Structure 1
Amino acid sequence: MADFVPTTVNRTAVRDLAVPIASVTSFNTLVQSVIDDNPFGCVGYTTKGGETVDGVVRNREHYTAKVNFLDGEGKRVGTVSLQSPTIAAFNANAAEVMDNAALAAAMGGEAVRNGPGETYYAQLKCHDPSGDDYYVTFTRKTVRLSSYQDEAIRGKVETWADTVGTLE
């Protein structure tokens, strides 16, 4: 029977945020700034198929809106959770639930957005000049660096994160 033989050492590092990122707008601004400003010095490359890929790209993302339904006494009588693939869909889906009178009647209460319960997730794929690919994943409460081999990569990400007030 053949054994699995490790070929590389991939690491993961997580920074827990003292205060969750306040809004989907600030979250998107942060993620987009990494793509636009490329603070880690990532480089573009060409795939074997000839496709040109930027040094930093969105790999995957999803956003979850939460809407509670409250009765006349303020008691929660129902809840809706909507996971959406983009921020535009997140906003549109939440607005649709908030404005849906038939749903509110069926739930037996008034729709109220649960902002603190909402979640945001965006994973960026970064291509290091060394040729290694790694991932920086943002949520409202953490920043995760994964699949990196060289500690210098962690150093670059950590140095950058230390300069961003919302990532303390």
Structure 2
Amino acid sequence: MKLNLTRPLVVFDLETTGLDLVRDRIIQLSYIKVMPDGEERRENLLVNPGKAIPQEVTELTGISNDDVKDAPTFKEIAPKLNEKMKDCDFAGYNSNHFDIPMLAEEFLRAGIDFDFSKCRLIDAQTIFHKMERRNLAAAYKFFCGRKMEDDFTAHRADEDTEATYRVLMAELDMYAPGVQ
């Protein structure tokens, strides 16, 4: 399916020194800017966070302090990013909960008030969770192989408790054989 865009869409992801929006910093920013005519512009930037990258982040991302030591800081690249990203919409995975707030904080630290309120924010994780239900009925079908409504009356605490117990037992069987 082709995207039907009226404004450019920046599909992006960040790697950071951690998950704290105030203390942590971006170490990699990658994006694909999709234009309304279908043209795609890609950029992958390493960013010097101005602080040490924790070992667990290096193990997770493969990005080390040596990799970013000569890279520009976010403050140095912020003006060009601002120009490239203004008047765009944004998409990512879990981006509304982490990447957008982190990017907004980095822009603010760089002295740029990037106004995300004027952008459409599309979070693929939110779409996934809405389309692929993650409730008790879905868990019961996945782990127990049956429709919950065939075995229980929904929204009855005693029956939801029984279904939850069966799901828990099936999870233990699937994920932790031998653990009791």
TM (norm. structure 2) is 0.21
User: Comparing both chains, which one has the higher relative contact order based on Cα–Cα distances under 8 Å and sequence gaps of 6 or more?
Assistant: 1
TM (norm. structure 1) is 0.22
Q: Higher strand fraction: Structure 1 or Structure 2? A: 1
